[in-house]
């Protein structure tokens, strides 16, 4: 991902299944853009969990040859505020009349989660969506927790970089919170 001004350019993705963190890092290191990667990234809060080994965040942060040397920020992002923030970026910017997110056609996983093509693993439609009943009506207020890894990564990155959008007297404004939970 590259951010230029307020526009997010998703230039590539690593969309894999059944790989270890170290294998994903090795795949990343083979990409032509690897030398330009920032030393900062984002991850789901589950990335700090220890399951009889180093956490995913620790492996990414490691400067050992099989690590990446990337410090990963993590914060709990509530589902609906995260989706709302992402939707704000999916809209055309009214001032520039340009998109706020530009996704490369190489990003098959992210595109498939939006319904733009079939899932690269199953060859079938696998869209991040809300629960739907037999009549096609939406059930509940939270989407199904599947087919959403790339979209969640986008949400975490947007919230980390740009903060949330909070309704305020009919106007929408961005508020970014520091790691301590204080407004910045």
Does residue 184 sit within a domain?
A: no
Domain span at residue 6?
2-71
Q: Are 43 and 118 found together in one domain? A: no
pLDDT above 90 (res 170): no
Which of 71, 104, 132 delimits the end of a domain? 71
Q: What is the pLDDT of residue 6?
A: 85
Mean pLDDT confidence for 45-66: 94
- Predicted TM-score (pTM) of this structure: 0.86
Q: What is the pLDDT of residue 165?
A: 73
178 — pLDDT class (breaks 50, 70, 90): very low
Burial 141-166 (b: 16+ CB within 10 A, else e): eebeeebbbbbbbbbbbbbbebbbbe
């Amino acid at each position: 991902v590259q951010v230029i001004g307020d526009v997010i350019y998703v230039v590539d993705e690593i969309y894999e299944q059944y790989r270890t963190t170290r294998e994903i890092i090795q795949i990343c290191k083979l990409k032509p853009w690897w030398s330009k990667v920032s030393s900062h990234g984002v991850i789901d809060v589950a990335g700090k969990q220890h399951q009889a080994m180093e956490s995913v965040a620790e492996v990414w942060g490691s400067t050992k040859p099989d690590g990446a040397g990337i410090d990963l920020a993590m914060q709990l992002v509530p589902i609906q505020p995260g989706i709302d923030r992402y939707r704000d970026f999916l809209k055309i910017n009214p001032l520039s009349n340009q998109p706020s997110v530009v996704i490369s056609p190489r990003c098959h996983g992210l595109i498939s989660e939006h319904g733009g093509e079939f899932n690269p693993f199953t060859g079938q439609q696998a869209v991040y969506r809300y629960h739907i009943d037999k009549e096609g009506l939406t059930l509940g207020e939270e989407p199904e927790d599947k087919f959403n890894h790339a979209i969640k990564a986008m949400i975490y990155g947007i919230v980390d970089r740009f903060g949330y959008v909070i309704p305020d007297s009919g106007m929408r404004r961005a508020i970014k919170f520091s790691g301590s939970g204080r407004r910045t």
